[in-house]
Amino acid sequence: MYLLIFIAGFGGGILRGLVGFLKHQFAYKNVEFRLNYFLTMMFLSGVVGMLSAMAIKEAGFSLAGQNYINPALAFIIGYAGGDFLENIYKIIAKKLDIYP
């Protein structure tokens, strides 16, 4: 079951990273695409999502009346974990954009 939680959390983080990346790409004109940066950020987003899902699972929280985390919840937690960390960064750094 842990493998499914890892994969789902990673997938949620990847989706959050992709949404943020696309938002940045379409918000500005003449944004160059850097493959290495893109792949690195997608990997890091996935790791954040995976760690968020595992942290919630190991903490023993009850979500939606369930005492266990299934892969669907892990995916949602993975997405939300990346979003949460991005907003914390924006508050601390007082920046509206995390992309260079």
Residue with tokens 């003449």: 30
pTM above threshold 0.75: yes
Measured N-to-C along each axis, helices 35-59 and 2-27 cross at an angle, to the nearest 10 degrees, of 140
The pLDDT of residue 96:
60
User: Which amino acid does the sequence have at 78?
Assistant: G
Q: Which residues of the chain have pLDDT under 50?
A: none
- Give the integer Cα–Cα distance in Å for 80 and 45: 11
Find the length of the chain. Answer: 100
pLDDT value, residue 65: 73
Tokens 């290495």, located at residue: 36
Residue 22: what pLDDT? 87
What pLDDT does residue 14 have?
93
